[in-house]
Amino acid sequence: MPSRYQPLAEYLAALPPETAAVTLTLAEIAQIVGHPLPVGASTHAWWGNHPASARARAWLAAGWRTRPQVRQIPGQIIFVRVPPARP
C-alpha cells in the first residue's frame, strides 16, 4: 500500500534534474498530497529525515532530504536533492 505522502515523492522526483532545492509551504505540501497535514506538521521535528517515518521514506526514496536548519522557518520546508552516489 503506497504511503499517503507518495504524491509528495512523485512531485519531488518529477522536478528537473538541475533543481537542487525547492521550498514548499505547508499549504502547498497539503495540496500536493491531497489532504490536510496533521497538527504535528507545524513542528520542525515532524520533518526529520528518519527512515522509520513513512513520510520521510517517501521523500528519501525520491532522492531528497529536508534541510534541518531551514525547518525552523514557520510554514516552510526546504527539500534538497541528495547527490547521486559516486562509484
Residue 56 lies in domain: 6-22+36-81
Look at residue 31 and tell me if it is in a domain. no
Q: Which residues of the chain register pLDDT less than 70? A: 1, 68-73, 85-87
Nearest to 10 by CA among 39, 32, 25: 32
How much is the pLDDT for 18? 94
- What's the grid cell of residue 53? 517515518
According to DSSP, residue 54 is labeled: H
Predicted TM-score (pTM) above 0.85: yes
Res 83: pLDDT:
83
Number of domains in the chain: 1
Q: Which residues contact 73 (CB under 8 A, 6 or more apart)?
A: none
- Give residue 68's pLDDT: 59
Phi/psi class of residue 50: alpha, beta or left (left: φ > 0; alpha: ψ in -120 to 50)? beta
- Is 28 a domain residue? no
Question: Is 56 domain-assigned?
Answer: yes
pLDDT of residue 70: 46
Residue 30 falls inside a structural domain = no
